[in-house]
Chains A and B, each alone.
Chain A
Amino acid sequence: MHTVRSLIDILSVFVLPTIIIGFPLYGLYKRVPVYEEFVEGAKEGFAVAVRIIPYLVAILFAIGMFRASGALDYLIDGARPLLGLIGIPPEVIPMGIVRPLTGSGSAAIVVDMINQYGEDSLVVKMAATMFGSTETTFYVIAVYFGSVGVRKTRHAVPAGLIADVAAMFLAVYVVRLLFG
């Protein structure tokens, strides 16, 4: 496992410089006017970022309000008895609910949990596994669809949330299996 890990780590270090230097070099070899084409492509960067703004504002302000209202605490209290029945420890429920909504919020939860339960506790391992194995669904949806102006997202949200819920359960069971 360690060799796989270090192999990926080494690969991660080398991939970026290889691309950043390799693309223009290969372009030169293929007689592409590299500088002109780079600028032509880079021009788009600003436009894309600006296109994302309304979508990101819409998603983030709603999530921010929801977090500030304290509704999450009620939601977590409500979910507790239900999820307890299927073996989900109450301590990890906040993580499961917050993870698809905000990345910074769920990172804060991991920090809080480490302070409260200790790094070696099972619940912290579960929460960290949840954090590591899923993405901030609503952020990704806002950015990706926003960049091309897609407003009707069809089954993207349900598919993403199904994966998030699955990851939450799996994180609990896998950690219990490996460390429990």
Chain B
Amino acid sequence: MLNYIWAGLIIFSLVFALAHDVSDLANDRYRNGQPVPVALHLDGYRPGTRQHAVTVALDSATLARYGGALSTAPLRWDGTLVVSEDGRELRFAKDDALPEPLATIRRVTSPRENDLRGVFSFEAGAGDTLIQGSVEFAPVRFVKLDAITRAAFDFAETAVTIALGLIGALALWLGLLRIAEKAGLIESFVRLVQPVLRPLFPQIPKDHPALGYIALNLTANVLGLGNAATPFGLKAMEEMQTLNPEKETATNPMVMLLAMNTASVQLVPPVLLVAIMGLQVNQLFFGILLVTAASLTIAIVAAKLLARLPRYRDTDPNRADAEASAAV
């Protein structure tokens, strides 16, 4: 299932990105190769000077013809006219608010500097304070294709940041858990919780430490202790993996723990939600509790029932044991 979802995400992103870009090209959304008429106001043109500070004026009707929206506000931006042997370049001021499609053109063609740039052609001058001309931007094509490529690399980096960010909390908790294990705490905890947990995790043998870590994981989740819940859960996975004859395949108890975790057993609203909504969260407390309890029950039932489907029953790493106990 994960294979199909994963491949689906990638294929769909390619298909939708391509469709979007082709429709952009068909509609000529960025008016590639068509110069935009602009007027430059400046303090005085001084031949031989490399850079002139200018005010760029564009009228709304022109922009609308260029694919933008009509607006009543005057379209004026600060900019710089750079004159060199290679020609004249108009640079819009950095980080200025620009209307579409200019904003997208800037994002794509000048991502680092974030100033819109284009080749300026001189048409007419009035005195030396006003220059009429037009500016042509670099062609913009395949915006979405570019965006998904960039997203792929960005998120790969995010993934590593997240994983490495776990190291501290993981090391702390795994160290503490090791002490607890050696002191016999986990053992006594297992005896305490197994009457409740064994029915949910029947494939974990009696008195096995995995049950203790599962209980710790669920408790930490209930109390909203996110940074403790993950290490407890991973320790539980490690213990369950020792019982797994096929190391690459999930066992039923693993899936049960995952289902319970993805359904969330949290009693306290997540920190992020409290940060966003503030005190408003209080009135949602009861509703969240209700929905959490119900979806947790559904997750448990789903994990139990799905395990009985032939395709999942036949891939169970412990299927030999299951058949043996069924025969008895």
Contacts and interface: CB of A to CB of B under 8 A. Distances in A.
Interface of A: 1, 5, 8-9, 11-12, 15-16, 19-20, 23-24, 26-27, 29-30, 32, 34, 37-46, 48-50, 52-53, 56-71, 74, 100, 103, 107, 110-111, 114, 119-120, 125, 128-137, 140-141, 143-145, 147-160, 162-164, 166-167, 170-171, 174-175, 178
B150 interface: yes
24 contacts: A12-B223, A38-B176, A40-B178, A45-B171, A45-B172, A52-B163, A53-B160, A61-B155, A64-B151, A64-B155, A65-B9, A65-B10, A66-B10, A129-B287, A132-B284, A132-B288, A132-B292, A135-B264, A144-B233, A150-B237, A153-B1, A154-B250, A155-B312, A159-B302
Interface string B291-328: 11011101100110011010010011000000000000
Interface string B158-189: 11101110111011101111111111110000
Contacts of B182: 27, 30, 32, 37
Given A41-B177, A42-B175, A159-B303, A110 B254 contact: no
Nearest to A139: B162
Contacts of A130: 291
B80 to A, nearest CB: 32
A49 B163 contact: yes
Nearest to A28: B183
A48 B152 CA distance: 24
B186 to A, nearest CB: 10
Contacts of A154: 249-250, 255, 312, 315-316
Contacts of B248: 149-152
Given A147-B234, A158-B1, A135 B261 contact: yes
Given A8-B268, A69-B16, A129-B284, A164 B273 contact: no
Contact of B268 (A1, A9, A103): A9
A123 B153 CA distance: 34
B20 A69 contact: yes
Q: Report which residue of B164, B175, B185, B268 has the largest number of chain A beta carbons within 10 angstroms of its beta carbon.
A: B175
A25 to B, nearest CB: 10
Q: Which 3 A-B pairs have the closest CB atoms?
A: A41-B178, A45-B171, A64-B155
Nearest to B275: A107
A45 B238 CA distance: 12
Contacts of B26: none
B57 interface: no
Contacts of A119: 277, 280
B69 interface: no
A59 B6 contact: yes
A23 B237 contact: no
Interface in B231-281: 233-234, 237-238, 240-241, 247-250, 254-255, 257-259, 261-264, 266-270, 272-273, 276-277, 280-281
Q: How large is the interface on B (under 10, 10 to 19, 20 to 34, 35 or more residues)?
A: 35 or more
A176 to B, nearest CB: 10
A42 B174 contact: yes
A149 B244 CA distance: 12
Contact of B263 (A134, A143, A157, A171): A134
Interface in B45-95: none
Contact of B291 (A11, A29, A160, A174): A174
B156 interface: yes
Contact of B170 (A48, A57, A63, A149): A48
Contacts of B200: none
Nearest to A111: B276
A69 B175 contact: no
A107 to B, nearest CB: 5
B192 interface: no
A159 B259 contact: yes
